Amino acid sequence: MNERPAAGFLPVDKPAGPTSHDVVAIARRALRERRIGHTGTLDPFASGLLLLAIGWATRLAEYLSDLPKSYAATMRLGIATDTDDRTGRTVATSDEWRALEPLEIRASLESLVGEIQQVPPMYSARKVGGRRLYAMAREGVEVQREATPATIHSIEVTRIEGPVVAFEITCGTGTYIRSIARDTGIELGCGAHLVELRRTAIGPHRVQCAVPVDRLEDAALVKRAWVTPAHALAHLPAVDIDADQARSLAQGRAITVPPGTGAGVAAALEHGELVAVGEVVGDALRPRKVFG
């Protein structure tokens, strides 16, 4: 791989099947770069946008992990599985979905918009008592899971054909779409599980701009899709600085910021290039991470 910037983010279109870790391993080989991470895992059966952090940009992944995520999802009413998706074992079936009106199905899903509490699936990476839930599930152990908060920004039902319901959802980080399908099935009294899931966006980043996994060695395609660190952090307040201020930040010293910058995390840019991420307190930007 050549003619590639030293660090940045690469949107990749993950196919169904490989894990997110598998995609990272493929990218390491294709891009000849060991320092590669990602900003949010996709289940193996899911496809779509995986935003890879490359080079020193791996230090920025935490600032993108909370961006809202959008998905195109399909669930199947009338069948519940132990994984809450199509990869699991059927644990219950029902024909009660036949009596449901489309309006009822839409209302059940759309009622989830806002702040909700959801129980994570047993087959998930969430830890209980220091152990991953999926590890216990594989041993045939089911434990009580506490509901955790999730934010649903929007849900739109796009298709209802018999027991199959397709919908688009935008949600906050940590939301389990499998739990959305499971809980909707419970609410409707017929059970349900997720059969397809495709991540279409992470914040402003769209899967349409992503590189297919099997084309990661295409240097021109990778270059076109490349996202610079400054662009990746465009959702943060930006502070334009000069060379002297950049040196101060590199030495761990705070710099003065313009009035009205606002408190919180901000990106420091010199000539449009990211040189630091810091915390604005009062009229000062205190460096957290410095690059260069």
Q: Is the pTM of this model over 0.85?
A: yes
pLDDT value of residue 3: 45
Percent of the chain with pLDDT over 70: 96
CATH placement of domain 69-202: 3.30.2350.10
What is the CATH architecture of 236-290? Roll (2.30)
Give every residue of the chain whose pLDDT is below 50, as ranges: 1-4
- For 120, the 3-state DSSP assignment is coil
Distance CA 20, CA 44 (A): 7
- Among candidate residues 13, 22, 43, 85, the one labeled active-site is 43
φ/ψ (deg, to 5) at 159? -165, 140
CATH architecture of 8-67+204-231: 2-Layer Sandwich (3.30)
Same fold, 8-67+204-231 and 236-290: no
Question: Residue 62: what are its φ and ψ, rounded to 5°?
Answer: -60, -25
Q: Please answer whether residues 41 and 125 qualify as being in contact, where contact means their C-beta atoms are separated by less than 8 angstroms.
A: yes
Strands (E), 124-236: 127-128, 131-132, 148-161, 164-171, 192-202, 205-206, 211-212
Q: What is the pLDDT of residue 146?
A: 81
Paired strand residues for 168: 72, 156
In the chain, where the domains are located: 8-67+204-231, 69-202, 236-290
- In tens, the pLDDT along 130-165 reads 777 677 767 677 777 788 899 999 999 999 999 999
Per-residue pLDDT reduced to its tens digit, 14-28 = 999 999 999 999 999
Give the pLDDT score at 4. 44
The answer to whether 199 touches 38, Cβ cutoff 8 Å, is no
Bridge partners of 149?
117
Q: Quick one: residue 96, left, alpha or beta (phi over 0 = left, psi -120 to 50 = alpha)?
A: alpha
Residue 77 CB partners (closer than 8 Å, separation 6+): 97, 100, 105, 163, 164, 165, 185, 188, 190, 191, 192
Q: Any bridge partners for residue 72, and if so which?
A: 168, 198
Please confirm, yes or no, whether 85 is among the known catalytic residues.
no
Query: Residue 1's pLDDT is what?
Result: 39
Cα 144-39-255 angle, rounded to 5 deg: 120
Specify the DSSP class assigned to residue 39: S
Taking the C-alpha atoms of residue 88 and residue 98, their distance in angstroms, rounded to an integer, is: 23
